[in-house]
Amino acid sequence: MSSCDTCVVRNRAICAVLDSKEVEALNGIGRRRNLEAGEALIWEGEESVLVANVIEGMLKLSTGTEDGREQIVGVAYPSDFIGRPFGARTSHSVTALTDARVCLFARKDFDRFAGEHPALEQKLLRRTLAELDRTRDWMLLLARKSAEEKVATFLLEMSSRLVEPGCEAPGDKPLDRFDLPFSRQQIGDILGLTIETVSRQMTRLKRDGVIGLPNRRAVEILDRQALEASAG
Amino acid sequence: MSSCDTCVVRNRAICAVLDSKEVEALNGIGRRRNLEAGEALIWEGEESVLVANVIEGMLKLSTGTEDGREQIVGVAYPSDFIGRPFGARTSHSVTALTDARVCLFARKDFDRFAGEHPALEQKLLRRTLAELDRTRDWMLLLARKSAEEKVATFLLEMSSRLVEPGCEAPGDKPLDRFDLPFSRQQIGDILGLTIETVSRQMTRLKRDGVIGLPNRRAVEILDRQALEASAG
DNA sequence: CGGCCTATTGAACCGGGTCAAGGTATGTGG
DNA sequence: CCACATACCTTGACCCGGTTCAATAGGCCG
């Protein structure tokens, strides 16, 4: 029996389009791997050798300039696919934000398997198109929104992303209370802001009664409408 | 004889993976269309009904906020694929920047055709992955680079993109003199800057002898190394 | 309790936005 | 052919949001 049978993301990851025989074959070329928070899996600029499905935890995709400025260009949640298939250079680092578990493949093995399973490639194509849309939307935020709008938008995004940890079923309503899976520094790296600005905006929203901050990781949305208005 | 036989992008667009019989079939569901500069083809937020290959000219993908701020999130060149296949809402407008010619498909027809031709889907997947990489790289620029770095990066990008109009064969060396296909306003919308800041940075680079500006559309790179240094 | 790490707060500065005034091409009609 | 209009670009002065630098405050664990 393959370990995929008990996989919590079996029906949400790209594997969902495969029948049990195919999933068995895919299982044969993959392996599980646990990552600790902060551990890197893929480094920017290296040749692409690994791809993976996220089973549990969260990872960041990031780039940086030589002089140390960093930007998080994406966040991978359970069931997301990470890495760069089809023989290119990996242009972004992948690092675990929390302890995480992934289902890992050698890129070459995965490429070959994908080539033999068009349904898998189509699934991956759909995901990639959706991810591209989301990434482009984020560009508007990075380029044009004020710090207040950025932070408000981010909190709203988190409140709908974090519905049922590891369960991204659409239709669930957003949370009004959740723990941020990011440090202030990481929030800054996502929004293109400094840690101080993030902190100030959070304090401001708290002072205005829009959100509550019970402790440094928790967020409570007290006035969703006001938060949406702040998001621009 | 199908009009694809004489198509200038026949061997560079996604059609390149199809044999002549398949291309004939694809031609049967598509049609040519000419666009004037400024003409919109797809509107943000609408249901996705059209997809297309760019044959000639350039188009922009853009989003905006309700209060009128705009951001260009991508530029499509000849042989690029535009539109959102697979039944989603189009999240970005597509507008011709120059007079342009496209090869247009009803999204439903294209989806079906693609479903029957895995090689086409794989080609599209590869392109989409590459586009996602490029888009993510651009996020670093938008979020973290200074106005000077943005403008310098933009000029370098143009100098390599505009090699042989409509010919993106890799390996060609970048141009040292070219006409910008964008107005200052559009450059601002790409870089997340105001028109004034773009203008000032261009003037600055000119004053420092890094570039020449023979007229309002033309750019001459006089000191590529200095320009690269400015790009950060 | 003390050490360490992260977050908050404060003060000063500055890059780029904003507002406003010219400049420079192109076209248009007298 | 010139006067004028229009669109786009450049330049200047000012100002503000967000960064920078620096100090303080909380949590957490020994």
Q: Tell me which of B60, B71, B123 to substitute to probe the interface with A (most A C-beta atoms closer than 10 Å).
A: B71
Helix/strand/coil for A85:
coil
- Give the C-alpha separation, B6 to B177, whole Å: 30
Residue-wise pLDDT tens digits, B32-60? 999 999 999 999 999 999 999 999 999 99
Determine the pLDDT at residue A87. 80
Instruction: Tell if A216 CB is < 7 Å from nucleic strand C.
Output: yes
Considering only the beta carbons, identify the residue of A126, A132, A139 that sits closest to B131: A132
- Judged by CB atoms within 8 Å, which residues 160-219 of A form the interface with B? 191-192
CA–CA distance, A201 with A231 (Å, rounded to integer)? 12
Model pLDDT for residues B183-219, shown as the tens digit of each residue: 999 999 999 999 999 999 999 999 999 999 999 999 9
d(CA B148, C1' C14) / Å: 15
Residue A59 amino acid letter: L
Residue A101 has what DSSP assignment? E
> Which residue matches tokens 């004053």?
B207
**CB neighbour list of residue A14: distance below 8 Å, 6 or more residues apart:** A53, A81, A120, A123, A124, A127
CA A142 remoteness from chain centre: 17
pLDDT at B88: 84
Kindly determine whether the C-beta of residue B153 is less than 7 Å away from any atom of nucleic acid strand C. no
Q: Residue B68: which pLDDT band, with cuts at 50, 70 and 90?
A: confident
Nucleotides of D under 7 A from a protein CB: 8-13, 17-22, 27-28
Q: Which residues contact A115 (CB under 8 A, 6 or more apart)?
A: A121, B122
CA distance B81 to A128: 14
Asked if residues A94 and A58 have their Cβ atoms less than 8 Å apart, the reply is: no
What confidence score (pLDDT) does residue B103 get? 96
Q: Is B139 on the interface with A (CB under 8 A)?
A: yes
Note the pLDDT of residue B175: 86
**Percentage of chain B lying above the pLDDT 70 cut:** 95
Q: Is the CB of A195 under 7 A from strand C?
A: yes
For the stretch B165-187, pLDDT in tens is: 544 555 677 889 999 999 999 99
Could you list the beta-strand ranges (E) of A7-162: 30-35, 40-42, 50-56, 59-64, 70-76, 81-83, 93-96, 100-106
Q: Would you say residue B163 has pLDDT above 90? A: no
Give dist(CA A172, CA A170) in Å, integer: 6
**Predicted pLDDT at B164:** 63
Q: Given CB atoms, is A135 within the 8 Å cutoff of chain B?
A: yes
Q: Which residues contact A113 (CB under 8 A, 6 or more apart)?
A: A25, A26, A29, A105, A120
Is residue A97 within 8 Å of residue A72, measured between CB atoms? no
Distances (CA, A) of B3 to B6, B23, B27, B103, B112: 6, 10, 8, 10, 21
Q: Are strands A30-35 and A40-42 parallel, antiparallel or unpaired?
A: unpaired
What's the pLDDT at B5? Answer: 85
pLDDT string in tens for chain A (232-residue length): 567 888 999 989 999 999 999 999 999 999 999 999 999 999 999 999 999 999 999 999 999 998 889 999 999 999 999 999 998 899 999 999 999 999 999 999 999 999 999 999 999 999 999 999 999 999 999 999 999 999 999 999 999 988 765 445 556 778 899 999 999 999 999 999 999 999 999 999 999 999 999 988 999 999 999 999 999 8
Contacts B84 to A, Cβ<8 Å:
129, 133
Query: What pLDDT is recorded for position A83?
Result: 97
For position A153, what pLDDT does the model report? Answer: 97
Distance linking the first and last C-alpha atoms of chain B: 51
Which domains, and CATH codes, for chain B? 3-138 (2.60.120.10), 145-230 (1.10.10.10)
pLDDT at position A3 is 78
